[in-house]
C-alpha cells in the first residue's frame, strides 16, 4: 500500500495529482534500470550459471536497457472496503500457519 503523496526533501508533503503516486513510464524505466543493474552485478560475481560465452550477457543486458519496458501498474485503492480486503489477505492465515510449523 502506498500513500497518496510523498515527503519532499524539505520535509513537506506533496500530494499526488492523479491516481498514481509515480508516473508509470518513470516507474518502468526505474524498474528496468534496477533489474538490469542487479543482473550485471550477478554476472560480474559469477552468479549467472547459464552464461553461454564471454561478453554475451553484457550485449544482452545492453539490449535490454535500450528496450522500452511495460510495467503493470494500477491505481490505488479508493474505497475503505478495498483497503480492508487488501489488508485482510496479509493479516489472516499466516500467523496460525507459523505457529503450526514452529512447534
* Cell of residue 39, nine digits: 543482473
Q: Give the HSE-up count for residue 82: Cα atoms under 13 Å, Cβ half-sphere.
A: 6
The proportion of the chain whose per-residue pLDDT surpasses 90, expressed as a percent, equals 13
Beta carbons within 10 angstroms of residue 65's beta carbon: 14
User: Tens digits of per-residue pLDDT, 47-74?
Assistant: 877 766 777 888 889 998 999 887 776 6
DSSP 11-76: S-EEE-SSS-SS-HHHHHHHHHHHHHHHHHHHHHTT--TT--STTHHHHHHHHHHHSPP-----PP
Determine the Cα–Cα distance for residues 92 and 51; give it in Å rounded to an integer.
42
pLDDT at 12: 85
Looking up cell 503523496 gives: 5
pLDDT at 81: 76
* Cell of residue 26, nine digits: 518513470
Amino acid at each position: 500500500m502506498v500513500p497518496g503523496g510523498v515527503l519532499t526533501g524539505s520535509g513537506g508533503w506533496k500530494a499526488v495529482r492523479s491516481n498514481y503516486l509515480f508516473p508509470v513510464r518513470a516507474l518502468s524505466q526505474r524498474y528496468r534500470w534496477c533489474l538490469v543493474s542487479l543482473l550485471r552485478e550477478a554476472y560480474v560475481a559469477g552468479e549467472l550459471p547459464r552464461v553461454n560465452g564471454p561478453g554475451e550477457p553484457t550485449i544482452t543486458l545492453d539490449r535490454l536497457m535500450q528496450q522500452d519496458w511495460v510495467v503493470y501498474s494500477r491505481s490505488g485503492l479508493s474505497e475503505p472496503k478495498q483497503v480492508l480486503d487488501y489488508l485482510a489477505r496479509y493479516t489472516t492465515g499466516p500467523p496460525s500457519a507459523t505457529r503450526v510449523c514452529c512447534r
